[in-house]
C-alpha cells in the first residue's frame, strides 16, 4: 500500500538526466506499522490504520489499542482503501513501496502566520493614498449593507492565517533512499521543517 507518514526535512535540488536542476522536498518517511484493519463487515468501510514514530507517555487507551501491533507510536493515521488484500495488524512498509515517477499527494499543517489583515490574508487591495484618501489605507472597506443589516458568516475579514491542513496533489517522486528512509518529491509541500507529512500514493 502506497501510503506513509513522515517528517519534513527541508528543500534541496537534484540534477536530472537532462542536466536541469529539480527542486525537491526531502521527507524522512516510514516505516509505518499497521495497528488496525477496518472492513465493510465490521466497520462499514475498508481502511487501514498505521502508526509512525516513537511516542512517549501513551494514554492507556492508545497503549491498549496498539498493543497487538507491538509499537509505541508518535502518530496514528487512517487510510481508506478499496481492497484490503492480505494486510493484517503488525505488517509494516517503508519508502521502497514508491518508485521514481510515482504521483503522490502530500498533506501537512501549513505554517502559522498569526493574526493577519485582509491584504495579506485574502489579497485585498489597499485604499487610495491621495485624492481624498483618509486614515489607514490598509483597513477593511464596507463589510455590510443597509439590508439585511448583518454580516454573513464566512465574510472575508482579518483573522488567524495559516496553521490549517493543506494537501498538495499530484507531486512526482524524484528521489528514494531506502538506506536513509528518505523520499523526495518534486516541488514544495506544506508545513515547517520537522512537521508531520502524510504521503498518499494510492489510498483514498
Q: What is the mean predicted confidence (pLDDT) over 49-61?
A: 90
8-state DSSP, 68: G
82 pLDDT band, cuts 50/70/90, is confident
What integer pLDDT is reported at residue 14 of this predicted model?
92
Class for the domain spanning 3-115+164-200 = mainly beta
Using CA atoms, how far apart are residues 195 and 190, in angstroms rounded to an integer?
Answer: 9
Helices (H), the chain: 40-43, 60-65, 118-122
- Residue ranges per structural domain of the chain: 3-115+164-200, 116-161
Q: To 5 degrees, how large is the angle CA 40–CA 46–CA 52?
A: 140
Average pLDDT, the chain: 91
What integer pLDDT is reported at residue 25 of this predicted model?
96
Q: Where does residue 93 fall: left (phi above 0), alpha (psi -120 to 50 degrees), or beta otherwise?
A: beta
**In terms of DSSP bridges, do strands 165-177 and 3-15 run parallel, antiparallel, or are they unpaired?**
unpaired
Burial tier of 42 (Cβ tally within 10 Å: 0-12, 13-18, 19+):
exposed
Q: What is the pTM of this model?
A: 0.84
Q: What is the mean predicted confidence (pLDDT) over 26-51?
A: 92
Using CA atoms, how far apart are residues 148 and 102, in angstroms rounded to an integer?
Answer: 52
Q: What percent of the chain has pLDDT over 70?
A: 99
What integer pLDDT is reported at residue 16 of this predicted model?
84
Helix (H) or strand (E) holding 104: strand 103-109
What integer pLDDT is reported at residue 135 of this predicted model?
82
For residue 203, is pLDDT > 70? Answer: no
Phi, then psi, of 185 in degrees rounded to 5: -115, 145
Query: For 69, how many CA atoms within 13 A lie in the half-sphere containing its CB?
Result: 26
Residues 6+ apart with CB under 8 A from 183: 4, 6, 26, 27, 29, 95, 98, 173, 175, 176, 177, 199
What tens digit of pLDDT does each residue of 92-150 get?
Answer: 999 999 999 999 999 999 999 999 999 999 999 999 989 988 888 999 888 887 788 88
Over the range 123-148, which residues count as b (16 or more CB within 10 Å of their CB) and which as e? ebeeeeeeeeeeeeeeebeeeeeeee
What integer pLDDT is reported at residue 173 of this predicted model?
94
Amino acid at each position: 500500500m502506497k501510503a506513509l507518514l513522515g517528517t519534513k526535512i527541508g528543500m534541496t535540488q537534484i540534477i536530472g538526466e537532462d542536466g536541469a536542476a529539480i527542486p525537491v522536498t526531502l521527507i524522512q518517511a516510514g516505516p509505518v506499522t499497521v495497528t488496525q484493519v477496518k472492513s465493510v463487515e465490521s466497520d462499514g468501510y475498508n481502511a487501514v490504520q498505521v502508526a509512525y514514530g516513537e511516542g512517549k507517555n501513551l494514554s492507556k487507551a492508545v497503549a491498549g489499542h496498539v498493543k497487538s501491533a507491538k509499537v509505541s507510536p508518535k502518530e496514528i493515521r487512517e487510510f481508506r482503501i478499496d481492497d484490503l488484500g492480505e494486510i493484517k495488524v503488525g505488517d509494516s512498509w517503508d519508502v521502497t513501496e514508491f518508485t521514481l515517477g510515482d504521483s503522490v499527494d502530500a498533506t501537512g499543517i501549513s505554517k502559522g502566520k498569526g493574526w493577519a489583515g485582509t491584504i495579506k490574508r485574502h489579497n485585498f487591495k489597499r485604499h487610495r493614498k491621495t485624492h481624498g484618501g483618509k486614515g489607514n489605507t490598509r483597513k477593511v472597506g464596507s463589510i455590510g449593507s443597509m439590508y439585511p443589516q448583518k454580516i454573513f458568516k464566512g465574510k472575508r475579514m482579518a483573522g488567524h492565517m495559516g496553521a490549517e491542513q493543506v494537501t498538495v496533489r499530484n507531486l512526482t517522486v524524484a528521489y528514494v533512499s531506502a538506506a536513509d528512509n528518505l523520499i523526495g518529491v518534486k516541488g514544495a509541500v506544506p508545513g515547517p521543517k520537522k512537521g508531520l507529512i502524510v504521503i498518499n500514493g494510492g489510498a483514498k
